Amino acid sequence: MNPSDPFQTLYQKSVRKGSSNPEATKEYSERSPLQKKYKSGENLLNPYFTFRGRTLSRIAFGCYRVGLESPEHKKALELSFQEGFNVVDTSSNYGNGESESLLGRVLGEKIDRGELKREDVFIVTKSGYIQGRNLQIVSELEKKNQEFPEITYYQEGCYHCIHPAFLEDQLTRSLKRLGLETVDVFLLHNPEYFLMDREKHNVPETNAKEEYYKRIKNAFLFLEQKRKEGKIQFYGISSNTFPENLEKYTATSLLKVLEIAKEVQTELGLEESGFAVVQFPANLLESGFLDRKFEGKSLIDIIEANQLLPLVNRPLNAISSQGSIFRLSYDPNESQDENLKNIKNRLNEVYSWEEEFLKLLPAGSYKYTFRTVTEPYLDQFQNQDHLSQFLERTVIPIMQQLIAQIETIAGGQKQTEYIDRLNDALPLLERYVHFHNIQNSHLLYEKIVKFYPQYNGWNLSGTALHLLHSSLKEGVVLLGMRKENYVRDAEGSFAGPLTTIQEKDWKQFEV
């Protein structure tokens, strides 16, 4: 064991050989519950499509915010394989390496039990960020004057690099955490951080772009070597800026990237380029991927024409034109106003109980209460993620101090009573935020049904996913299925045939 390696405990004990292949993925899909529930027909969507001969699920288990120590995340991942989802998207920096490690653990257990073969699944991972444990490694190397070349020092705690020396290090660590000999796809993760940094430092755009694409080409040359060694099958880029207008400083041009891939293929004398996958954000409020602004073509047109695999991220967490994060979740069958009223009444009961309960503490001995740190902000949360961040960073640290004070003065029994009541209140906060933000969701839902009446009666998340399936035709939507019910909800997006997409309609969905 190398005690100086901060990832040591995340590496798998054994390495699984092989990679996805056409025969195994086809057999896996044919025996899956997904295929049995949604056999391709007039009123249903086949949950699978083929890419380079491989049969892939239209929805992938997205591992952003998935952690090794969460039993809930592990159960959800296991269920996704059990149901028939056979694409998983992770990254070296998700969960500070724990996301890859959890995936490796679940894969290994299922393979050992004979429930899954390595060849059944299509694994995507990414590299580029230097944060957390990777930042520790980089800092130690810099102290020894052994730093990786071409690091972009974007901001404190977040650096970036796609130099071959760094990618070699990261791919090696990813394969160890995954416990795999080969990963199906390896992506450069948001390389536009280089452009963001250069723009911040007022570097002329022409100079920055020239260096940017030079670095991408060097990365591609390296990744072709890794293909030759059998460590990856395909490679690509995950960039938030693929859908942006090319006049924007930070935009990544897929057309230019394709030129680079062709140059690499020619220089190395390859029959086929390994550049095959592009990942980008797309959802009902961020429809730039449908705009025909790239020499008269849309991003999807270019992807389809070049037989690339599109991976769509953030399908349900949309960023509006005003910069607000909008959760695409709404059930038209729920009574929103009545629910909101009932939840507020229950919260008021908790607040009143707390006021009476805290009389056991000396007057003036505490500054904040659960009520004072939550009630004033109830109507300001944009979505559940916004609330979660507020709870983690503000509410919980303050409550921990108050809980410790209660134990000191009133004892463990009273402390437990207070904690139990807070645990009852937290789900109420989540439900309050959900129903408070329903109005915008309702307006968006009404607009969608106006243009696409076939979605009348569907919930908003299922509608959003199905519209993405329809826009991609053959592609994968990455969904954060961190809970078992999220896995089952995702299946509902296959309950209808592909919709003919009208790009102009999506411009009306802004809220």
C-beta separation of 444 from 284 below 8 A:
yes
Query: How many whole angstroms separate alpha carbon 494 and alpha carbon 199?
Result: 42
Instruction: Give me the residue label for tokens 């809930």.
Output: 72
Give residue 424's pLDDT: 86
The token duo for 23 is 């025969």
Give residue 41's pLDDT: 64
C-beta separation of 383 from 435 below 8 A:
no
Q: Give the single-character DSSP code of 476.
A: E
The token duo for 96 is 């500070």
Query: How many whole angstroms separate alpha carbon 408 and alpha carbon 275?
Result: 61
Query: How many whole angstroms separate alpha carbon 33 and alpha carbon 38?
Result: 9
Q: Which residues pair with 234 in a beta bridge?
A: 185
C-beta separation of 316 from 461 below 8 A:
yes
Coil, helix or strand at residue 473: coil
Amino acid in position 371: R
**Rounded to a whole number, what is the distance in angstroms from the first to the last CA of the chain?**
54
Q: Which residues pair with 57 in a beta bridge?
A: 48
Give residue 326's pLDDT: 77
Give residue 278's pLDDT: 98
Give residue 341's pLDDT: 86
Percent helix / strand / coil, the chain, rounded to 5: 55, 15, 30
Write the pLDDT tens digit of every residue in 183-241: 999 999 999 999 999 999 999 999 999 999 999 999 999 999 999 999 999 999 999 99
Query: How many whole angstroms separate alpha carbon 249 and alpha carbon 192?
Result: 10
Give residue 1's pLDDT: 40
Each residue's pLDDT tens digit in the chain (511 positions)?
455 799 999 999 999 999 999 999 999 999 999 999 987 666 899 999 999 999 999 999 999 988 887 899 999 999 999 999 999 999 999 999 999 999 999 999 999 999 999 999 999 999 999 999 999 999 999 999 999 999 999 998 889 999 999 999 999 999 999 999 999 999 999 999 999 999 999 999 999 999 999 999 999 999 999 999 999 999 999 999 999 999 999 999 999 999 999 999 999 999 999 999 999 999 999 999 999 999 999 999 999 999 999 999 999 988 877 666 777 888 887 766 777 888 899 999 999 999 999 999 998 898 899 999 999 988 888 767 778 888 888 888 888 889 989 999 999 899 999 988 988 888 888 888 877 777 678 888 899 999 999 999 999 999 999 999 999 999 999 999 999 999 999 999 999 999 998 888 888 887 6
Q: For the whole model, what pTM was predicted?
A: 0.84
Residues in the chain: 511
Write the pLDDT tens digit of every residue in 141-173: 999 999 999 999 999 888 999 999 999 999 999
Q: DSSP strand E in 308-415: where?
A: 309-313, 317-319, 325-327
Other Cβ atoms within 10 Å of 245 Cβ, number: 11
The token duo for 503 is 């790009």
